Amino acid sequence: MTHFFVSVLLIVSGFGAVGSVQAAKGTPEDPFVVYMILFRGCEEACQGFKAHFQRNQIPVRFVDRDCGQDRKKVAGFVAEAKRIKPDLVVTWGTGVTLDALGPYDNIDPQKHITQIPAVFMIVSQPVEAKIVSSLQGSGRNITGTGYLIPEETQLRAAARYVKFSRLGFIYNPLEANSQVNLKELERLQGVLKFQLIARAVPLGADKKPDKNLIADLVRELSKQKVDLIYQGPDTFLNVNRDILTHTAVELKIPVFAAAENPVVNSKALLGVVNRYSVVGNFTAYQAARILVDKVDPKNIPIEAPRKYSFIINMPVARALGLYPPMRVVQIAEVIDSK
């Protein structure tokens, strides 16, 4: 009997404790504190993240920490986060995420954030990058969002604009996600009826892919008469996107990009992507589930938003003389700086 009363008391007091926390947090007087570790300032994804909370009138105080493309600064931010104990940490990009949260098979509680729930975004391959072991749920105190769209969806959409029977593909052989990409494209040859002409960027003397050979590969693909070049979410090629896309435009070959950067900031003709602002929005939605609905982050599957955009680089379309079909014009987001 005594046991019974004790347990009832415990339960009641337990509820009381939870209740008091809920009552205290997430009000205009005492907003949630979200600590954001950013890579290159508060760009579209970060802005989209914040906009979601504003739109849904969830009171949040954001602490922005920008490493200005220098990952060495992340360690300091981690230390600060541990000190001020925010309600949530947000990390931007694969590198920042790995530095702040650690790979799942090598977590160091000294170096990494483990106690505070965390959400990552703008990570192309969370499993391959070893941030999580499965997309079904991290199993640790974090969750996050992807942003890539399945290759099949990408290519089907691309075919609405550029009909292709020969698809060129240049990739960095050292990147795990490029290998995944290659396998999937090879599989799709049979499904979508095209021939894949794939070329790995050769390694230089430093055992790293040599960016000076990218243009040669594009020329070789041109000789192979490819109709379209596919640029995957490959970090090396993203950095060297200008070499690839500019050479392609010179040779009158359209480039399809799996991420928005080559289309928005270089000369890829088209892309089927999740805009960063949409990814930020969707990540904020997951974050709100943790903060407001008290869902355990380890149970939230890692998904990409399904509101993808068809983006077209119009100056490139004009340069190639390859105009988007009317059906695509009506749905596409056009990048134009006439």
Partner 1 sequence: MSTAPLVDGGRLVRLQRVLFWTTIALFVVSAAVLTWRAGAIFEHDLSPEVSLKGHVLARSLTVQVNRALALGIPIERLVGMDEFLDDFIEAHTEVAYVAVTNADNEVLYIRGVSVDDVRASLQGHPFYSERTFLIIGNASYYNTRLPLANQLGALHVGVRANYVRKRMMEIGADAVIVLFVSVLIAFEVLTLLISAGIKARINSVMRLLRHINEGNFSYLAMIRGNDELDHLAKRLNHIVTVIDSRFAQLQEQLVAQAKTLPERLTAYRFAQPPTVEFRPALEAIRVPLFLFVLSEELSRSFLPIFARELAGTLAHIPLDVVVSLPICVYMLVFAIATPFAGNLADRFGNRPIFMLGALCSIVGFVWLAFVSSFLQLILARAICAAGYSIATIAVQNYLVSNAPSGSQARAQALFVGGVMIAGMAGTSFGGVLAERIGYRMTFGVGALTSAIALLVFYCSPDTASIKRSGEAHKRRFQFLDLWQLLKVRRFAGLMLFAAIPAKILLAGFLFYLTPLYLMKLGFSQSDIGRSVMMYFLLVYFGNYLSSWLADRFAMRWSLVVAGGCIAGVGLLSILVVPQESLAVLIGIACLGLGTAISTAPMMAIATGMFSQGAGPATTAVVVAVRLLERFGSFMGPIIAAAAVVLAGYRGAIVVIGTLGSICAMALWLSFVIGRPRKKAVANL
Q: Give the chain's length.
A: 338
Part of the chain binding partner 1 (CB under 8 A), chosen from 146-154, 232-240, 294-302, 328-336: 328-336
Which residues are registered as beta bridge partners of 90? Answer: 36, 119
**How many CB atoms within 10 Å of residue 90?**
29
30 binds partner 1 per the rule CB under 8 A: no
CB 197 within 8 A of CB 165: no
216 or 333: CB nearest partner 1: 333
CA 184 to chain CA centroid, nearest Å:
19
**Cβ 329 to partner 1, closest distance in Å?**
5
Q: How far apart are CA 74 and CA 292, in angstroms?
A: 27
290 or 311: CB nearest partner 1: 311
337 binds partner 1 per the rule CB under 8 A: no
326 binds partner 1 per the rule CB under 8 A: yes
331 binds partner 1 per the rule CB under 8 A: no
**Amino acid (1-letter code) at residue 258:** A
163 binds partner 1 per the rule CB under 8 A: no
75 or 328: CB nearest partner 1: 328
**Cβ 320 to partner 1, closest distance in Å?**
12
**Cβ 326 to partner 1, closest distance in Å?**
4
Residues near partner 1 (CB under 8 A), total: 14
CB 182 within 8 A of CB 171: yes
CA-to-CA dists, residue 59 to 51, 52, 79, 278, angstroms: 12, 11, 25, 20
Q: How far apart are CA 274 and CA 293, in angstroms?
A: 26
183 or 327: CB nearest partner 1: 327
Interface with partner 1 in residues 293-322 (CB under 8 A): 314, 317-318
CA-to-CA dists, residue 67 to 9, 80, 103, 282, angstroms: 48, 13, 20, 23
**Cβ 331 to partner 1, closest distance in Å?**
11
Residues that bind partner 1 (CB under 8 A): 314, 317-318, 323-330, 334, 336, 338
